[in-house]
Amino acid sequence: MSTFRTPLRRIEGLGAAKTGTTHFLRQRLTAVALVPLSVWFVASALAYVGAEQGAVAAFFAEPLNAILMALFLLAALYHMSLGLQVIIEDYVHQEGLKLAYIVLVRFVAWGTGAACGYALVKLALGTPI
């Protein structure tokens, strides 16, 4: 017998890590999305340096701007969660603490996303153009 692994485990090809490459692929997918989105965000933000609140509100009242901002936030927060998780897994060796940090990162990401989402909806729908 050359292997102790069952035929099912062998064809799944996942090894001891149990899961496949979901984390890796999502990190790359969000990275690719963030290349144009972050360039769009910085270019837009620079145009409104020192501007009045009304001007910024009018900017997000434009549907395309609100949608692009929502996509930018989603991709950035997801990418952040995945990236910080890898850093925590590399440097925190105590299992309980590691889990606690990863949960904290997820909570902060969801909380920030919810708060930004609310603000964005308010800006997008609440301001007359």
Partner 1 sequence: MDEEPHSPGPSIRSSGRVQTRPLSPHLQIYGWSITMAASITHRATGMALSGGVLLLAWWLIAAATGAEAYAVFVRVAAHPVGQIVLFGLLWSLAFHLLNGIRHLAWDLGYGFKVSTTRLTGALVYLFSVLLAAAAFAVGIMVRQGLGV
Binding site for partner 1 (CB under 8 A): 28, 31-32, 34-35, 38-39, 42, 46-54, 56-57, 60, 69, 73, 76-77, 80, 83-84, 87, 112, 115-116, 118-120, 122-123, 126
Which of the 8 DSSP states describes residue 15? G
On the CB side of 89, how many CA atoms lie within 13 Å of its CA? 7
Side-chain-side CA neighbours of residue 120 (13 Å): 18
At 58 the three-state DSSP class reads: helix
Min separation Cβ 129 and partner 1, Å: 15
C-alpha–C-alpha distance, residues 124 and 58, integer Å: 8
Report, in Å, the least distance between residue 20 CB and partner 1. Answer: 16
Nearest distance from C-beta of residue 16 to partner 1, angstroms: 22
Nearer to partner 1, 7 or 50 (CB): 50
